[in-house]
Structure 1
Amino acid sequence: MTVAKTVLVVGGSYAGHEAVQALLEHLPASLCRVVLLERNSHFHHVYAFPRFSVFAKHEQKALIPYTNLFRAAREGQESRFVQGSLVALENNVATYTGGAADDTGTIRFDYLVYALGAQRPASIDVGSHFATKADSMERLRQAQRAASEARRIVVIGGGALGVQFASDLVDRFGVGTKQITLLSSSARLLPRFDAAMHARAHAWLTKRHVDVILGQRAVSQRVDEGAGTAGATVITTTSGRVLLEADLVLDCTGLTANTAFLDGLVGTPLKGRPAPVNRYMQLLDEARSATATVPHVFVVGDAADAFGALNSGGNARHQADVAARNIAALAQGKAMCERYEPAPTRIKVSLGVHHAVSQSGSEVGYTDGLFRRGKEDLGVEKHWRRRGLSTSDMFV
């Protein structure tokens, strides 16, 4: 009798969710079981989190039930969802905690899809804890209250996230009602993209009196205890310029890959860097050689150093599909044949509710007044429907 092999997917966001679906599709039903280890009770649609940290009454929509996670499973195909946080990873064993200190367990696996993504800076990280839907909704509401109560807001970072936060803030509260500053260490906004993206975003923001400071890095932050400004944060930049005190600082300076658990599998600690992979999405152990792999471990999404691919949900899903197909081949004793090639640059950056700037390949576009029909919730209902879920009650 053949013993079923276990494929463990760690992390249930865009890459992990897609990995589960692709594994269910490509693995022989009787050959492998699929297990998802995910710390949250609901799928976090994190691309809506910045918007829902500013605009109220939509937070429930970004937290999508895992109800139909295994609906693609065929008869006889084993699958299991485990809510827990990974705490240790060995060659073929994952140890997790279920939230309480004494609530721990282990999962043995034959193949691993590592999809733990990346961590945002603490000031904007509303979804990185073991949580129920109610917990996550409250964290988003706390962010909304902080934005509403602040008079002086500094957004640090001129990438897509910083631009979206700054534009949503001015759109939500109105021009001139709050002092909003966007500080970027780069000489232009959206530096990874075409210069026309910067020009459009910069013009939109400055027209609405957002103070955009380019080419300056925040080198220190301190809480001012002086009279009249108690509790305010004072930021000093590389030029020595002191910004007006900020009641709220939103640090959008980038992501730190959640790769620490892979350190025990490779010879060189990753120290928060994305993990190196080959074109099959297998983890590389560069301490041994440039091509040495950990053959049963695949890394996808924001945790992977995937040949310059933009961190995006679409790229994460593509990488997960490549990994799943290759695992299916290995599990059946076949050679891997799926190789990952990054897609051309494609991004759309919202400028408030009604406008957006976009790039597809070398083409740059600007949407004026019609972006996603001006929906505050970014049309998030479609993500529910894609999972076969009703949108009649989005608090479930």
Structure 2
Amino acid sequence: MSTAPHATAPAPAHDDADDSATHKPASTMNALRTKNVAVIGGSYVGHRLAMSLAKALPATHRVVLIESNSHFHHLFTLPRFSVLHRGGEEKAFVPYDHIFSDPSIPPGAGTVVHARALSILPSSGGGEVGGTIRLDRPLPNAARPAGREDDGEGETNLVAYDYLALATGTQLQRPWSLSTAASSSSTDAIEGEGNRTGEVQDTTKAQAIQILQSYQDKVRDARRIVIVGGGAVGVQVALDIAHLYPLRESGKEVVVVHSRDRVMNKYHQDLHNLVMARFGEAGIETILSSRVHLPSPPAAFSGGGRTHMLPLSSGSSVSGDLILLCTGQTPRSALLRHLSPSSLTAAGFIKVDRTLQVQSAELEPGQAQRLFALGDVAETGAWKTVRAAMGQIDTVSHNILALISRSSAAAAAATAEGDDAAAAKELKTFTPGPAGIHLTLGLRESVKFGNPANPDDKPRCLVEEDGSRDMNASRMWANFNVPKDTAWHL
């Protein structure tokens, strides 16, 4: 486990002639930026959208990224760091402090607010302005409106927004998601760890590391591990365990139970075939087309030498001394539950138009057009992967900028505009493409797999050697502009 600081990198060069805005003091730039574009959720999709907007917003606007966690959770790495014993799990949690320090982002164009959004209050002004977000804690001075930094008047836990994008994602079972404490149906409740009331709590970096290390210890000590779910997380965890603790030599057993007739069932048959071949080589047992009946109320599955017997829908049962649940995505869409119930599907995902604006029967059209949703929480027709969401980021960024431009043009109606300006205000639409995934196949190998656009075509399948046990987690620190002399534990 490495806690050594990065090597110091040279400061990036600035072209002073081409970036006159950077000569203005940050306080001056903040005073100019009186309108907020709020992004709720700072994971893979949310932070990329915030950075994209910050680079392109006019001087009247700034991005306010609202994220409850103190650190970005590099979710792709959590299955690996839940298994790899003391393998550098500190790298999975990246500080947000420098996200807007990129030289291409003007000073004052973006700020991060670490708070939980409790509710959205749309404006009563007929859609001329967006609305207000109520937070669970007071705003820091840097995030308050210009002129209100220290006056102490009014509520300080409100963020007014001109436009709002919801990138709140989905909640997986612990430890694959660590953003909140247990609800009554989560893995933690089953394991007897954490609260059983459903109360939402934040997780600090130190707590998150401790949780991962506790799972590392459980995996090390378990003799028979049952993994419920044959999707991406289940496949990755099973092969990581089998490669770290070779099953035939260590005496461990790993069983994957999946309700469908093939693993990775959302993808082409070829991916199932590849995974099953790797399972066979590693000695991993599979039980397909059978659903696990979990007890209600849930029992404790925390290991410690106790054997748990789980009944299966086939009529048989499976036993293990450690049960890892790798099933289900719960959308984090509660902000719309009371504001606009018609915006949610039966499963809780947010309905959006092809422009990724939220569909709503309750909100006025002018209010709804200022509200966007993207990523896993949105029902876009795309697969729930970051790769599938990249086009959504471009669509939402373009459309918010286009709407701001339209508003500016309306405010300056006397200004003549050419065809190019009119074209720039056209909203983009998002069209989902074939599903694709980058899946690890143990500690040394991964596959980049893409479904074919046409059923009769062959899928894209590229198997590669992966020489980094920590999945090159340090690259994400560079993406967040974290200085290279920053210690991993910070």
TM over 0.5: yes
Which of 315, 322, 328 pairs up with 2:388? Answer: 315
Structure 2: tracts of 5 or more residues without a match = 1-30, 123-130, 139-154, 181-200, 408-424, 453-458
Q: 1:315 to 1:51 in 2, by over 3 A?
A: same
Tell whether 2:68 aligns with 1:39.
yes
Structure 2 SS opposite 1:95: strand
Structure 2 SS opposite 1:264: coil
Q: Which residue of 2 aligns with 1:5?
A: 35
Residues in 1 aligned to 2:378 and 2:177: alpha-carbon distance in whole angstroms: 20
Report the CA distance between 1:270 and its aligned residue. 4.4
Q: Which residue of 2 aligns with 1:356?
A: 446
Code of the residue aligned with 1:126 in structure 2: it is L
Q: Which residue of 2 aligns with 1:251?
A: 325
Q: Contact 1:260/1:272 (CA < 8 Å) preserved in 2?
A: no
Residues in 1 aligned to 2:398 and 2:482: alpha-carbon distance in whole angstroms: 26
Listed one character per residue, the Cα deviations across residues 258-281 of structure 1 (whole Å, up to 9, x for unaligned) are 112112332435455221111211
Q: Which residue of 2 aligns with 1:217?
A: 291
Which range moved further: 150-159 or 83-92? 83-92
Report which of the two has the higher share of strand.
Answer: 1
Q: Which residue of 1 aligns with 2:316?
A: 241
Which range moved further: 86-95 or 54-63? 86-95
Q: What is the CA RMSD across the aligned residues, in angstroms?
A: 2.9
Report the CA distance between 1:4 and its aligned residue. 2.6
Which of 367, 371, 390 pairs up with 2:465? Answer: 371
Structure 1: tracts of 5 or more residues without a match = none
Which of 333, 337, 358 pairs up with 1:283? Answer: 358
Q: Contact 1:233/1:247 (CA < 8 Å) preserved in 2?
A: yes
Q: 1:78 to 1:365 in 2, by over 3 A?
A: closer
Report the CA distance between 1:131 and its aligned residue. 2.9
Tell whether 2:83 aligns with 1:54.
yes
Tell whether 2:237 aligns with 1:165.
yes
Task: Mark the structure with the bigger radius of gyration.
Answer: 2
Report the CA distance between 1:202 and its aligned residue. 0.8
Residues in 1 aligned to 2:350 and 2:175: alpha-carbon distance in whole angstroms: 25
Residues in 2 aligned to 1:2 and 1:41: alpha-carbon distance in whole angstroms: 28
Which range moved further: 280-289 or 38-47? 280-289
Code of the residue aligned with 1:108 in structure 2: it is A
Code of the residue aligned with 1:164 in structure 2: it is Q
Listed one character per residue, the Cα deviations across residues 190-214 of structure 1 (whole Å, up to 9, x for unaligned) are 1111111101101211222211000
Code of the residue aligned with 1:93 in structure 2: it is T
Residues in 1 aligned to 2:39 and 2:350: alpha-carbon distance in whole angstroms: 16
Residues in 1 aligned to 2:475 and 2:94: alpha-carbon distance in whole angstroms: 11
Aligned 1:293-332 pairs, distance under 5 A? 294-307=368-381, 309-332=382-405
Report the CA distance between 1:2 and its aligned residue. 8.5
Residues in 1 aligned to 2:340 and 2:300: alpha-carbon distance in whole angstroms: 44
Q: Which residue of 2 aligns with 1:139?
A: 211
Code of the residue aligned with 2:489 in structure 1: it is F
Code of the residue aligned with 2:73 in structure 1: it is H
Which of 180, 203, 224 pairs up with 2:254? Answer: 180
Tell whether 2:484 aligns with 1:394.
no
Residues in 2 aligned to 1:288 and 1:154: alpha-carbon distance in whole angstroms: 46
Tell whether 2:428 aligns with 1:338.
yes
Q: 1:195 to 1:282 in 2, by over 3 A?
A: same
Q: Which residue of 2 aligns with 1:82?
A: 113
Q: 1:80 to 1:364 in 2, by over 3 A?
A: closer
Structure 1 SS opposite 2:369: strand
Aligned 1:10-159 pairs, distance under 5 A? 10-29=40-59, 31-55=60-84, 56-72=86-102, 74-75=105-106, 77-91=108-122, 92-98=131-137, 105-122=157-174, 124-128=176-180, 129-159=201-231
Code of the residue aligned with 2:42 in structure 1: it is G
Q: Contact 2:62/2:110 (CA < 8 Å) preserved in 1?
A: yes
Residues in 1 aligned to 2:341 and 2:284: alpha-carbon distance in whole angstroms: 47
Q: Contact 1:223/1:231 (CA < 8 Å) preserved in 2?
A: no
Residues in 1 aligned to 2:95 and 2:300: alpha-carbon distance in whole angstroms: 43
Report the CA distance between 1:76 and its aligned residue. 5.8
TM-score (norm: length of structure 2): 0.72
Structure 2 SS opposite 1:18: helix
Q: Contact 1:259/1:270 (CA < 8 Å) preserved in 2?
A: no
Structure 2 SS opposite 1:282: coil
Code of the residue aligned with 1:87 in structure 2: it is L
Residues in 1 aligned to 2:107 and 2:281: alpha-carbon distance in whole angstroms: 60
Residues in 1 aligned to 2:393 and 2:311: alpha-carbon distance in whole angstroms: 42
Q: 1:52 to 1:348 in 2, by over 3 A?
A: same
Q: Contact 2:167/2:377 (CA < 8 Å) preserved in 1?
A: yes
Report the CA distance between 1:118 and its aligned residue. 0.2
Structure 2 SS opposite 1:283: coil
Residues in 2 aligned to 1:243 and 1:292: alpha-carbon distance in whole angstroms: 55
Residues in 2 aligned to 1:166 and 1:230: alpha-carbon distance in whole angstroms: 20
Q: Contact 2:33/2:109 (CA < 8 Å) preserved in 1?
A: no
TM-score (norm: length of structure 1): 0.88
Q: Contact 2:41/2:168 (CA < 8 Å) preserved in 1?
A: yes
